[in-house]
Structure 1
Amino acid sequence: MSLDQSVLLEQSLALADMVADSSVAIAYRESKYHLEQDEEAQKLIARFAKMKEQYEEVQRFGKYHPDFHTVSTQVRTLKRELDFHENIAQFKKAEKELENLLMECSKIIAYSVSEQIKVPTGNPFFDESSCSGGCGSGGSCGCA
């Protein structure tokens, strides 16, 4: 390993420490802890996981399954309950903010080398910077 590589690795570790010590990462860890300690939220998550298995089974047959409408409605209702639970919503928000921070760091590093480097940043359909042209949307995504 050359001197440049060892310096780069040291600086990468320093960046990782800065991200881990950031207010965004601290908020994520705190919200995760609160979520893990919330018995009601854990029960909701377990119910949703079980219901999701039933939903996947029903989806194999689609609308021809006798429980299709019942299970589909129950999954949507339970998902809504999850989305509005305070600790679950807080965790999802903190998780998204940490993900955004990590994506921004990745972009800065990649684009400092070259604007042509593709950075995996999640869903390319909604990621305005991921399209490099020829997507077929007529330019509505912002590509050139």
Structure 2
Amino acid sequence: MIGTTEIVNILDRSEALGKMILQSDVMEEYNSSQKALNEDKESQRLIKAFADIKDHYQDVQRFGRYHPDYSVIMKKVRSTKREMDMNDKVAAFKIAERNLQKLLDEISQGVAMSVGDNIKAPKDGAALSDGGCGCGSGSGGCGCKAS
């Protein structure tokens, strides 16, 4: 019976923590920046252009430097990404996304430390890492090495 009571207590506290996160200023900023990004036609055009060139990049990457379009595609990926990153809506969303990830990492650290010193928790978004490509595409595991 004690185990069941403890589990119910943990679930209640977890649910309360989840509600606090969903009602936080950080989450509100994330949601509003995501909505603004999704509704902005120019931002969506830039994101689509980057996704399209990234697909082409992956085709070229199979052959590496030996592909005849390698240099052209590498430059195009970088310039398209830079153009996308310079968009105000994209930049605001990325900042809000980083802030939310930081909050979630801090909470994970707090929970892990409350359990014990040997419990590991993600740091700096490591749990959602896309392999260190740094492209910021949000697609996860894109394999892009162009940044």
- What TM-score, normalized to structure 1? 0.83
* Deviation for aligned residue 1:4: 1.3
Extract unaligned runs of 5+ from structure 2. Answer: 128-147
Taking the aligned partners of 1:41 and 1:28, their CA distance within structure 2 comes to 16
Alignment of 1:49-68 (within 5 A): 49-68=51-70
Residue by residue over 1:47-75, the C-alpha shift from the partner in whole angstroms, topping out at 9 and shown as x without a partner, is 11110010011111111101001111000
Note if 1:85 corresponds to 2:87.
yes
- 2:110 corresponds to which residue? 108
Deviates more, 1:78-87 or 1:114-123: 114-123
Offset of 1:17 from its aligned partner? Answer: 0.3
- Where in structure 1 are there 5+ consecutive unaligned residues? 125-144
Q: Deviations over 1:98-125 (max 9, x none)?
A: 000000000000011111111123349x
Output aligned runs, 1:1-144, within 5 Å: 2-121=4-123, 122-123=125-126
TM, length-normalised to structure 2: 0.81
Identical positions, percent: 41
Q: Which has the larger radius of gyration?
A: 1
- 1:132 is matched with none
RMSD: 1.3
Q: Distance in 1 between matches of 2:28 and 2:122?
A: 24
Q: Secondary structure at the match of 1:2?
A: helix
Which amino acid letter does the alignment assign opposite residue 54 of structure 1?
H
Where in structure 1 do 4 or more consecutive aligned residues deviate above 4 Å? none
CA distance in 2 between counterparts of 1:10 and 1:75 reads: 47
Q: Following the alignment from structure 2 to structure 1, what is the Cα–Cα distance between the partners of residues 64 and 111?
A: 45
Structure-1 separation of matches of 2:66 and 2:13: 58
The 2-side partners of 1:112 and 1:18 are apart by: 18
What is the one-letter code of the residue matched to 1:6? V
Q: How many residues align?
A: 124
Once the two structures are superposed, residues 23-67 of structure 1 have per-residue CA deviations (whole angstroms, 9 ceiling, x without a partner) of 000000000000000000001111111100100111111111010
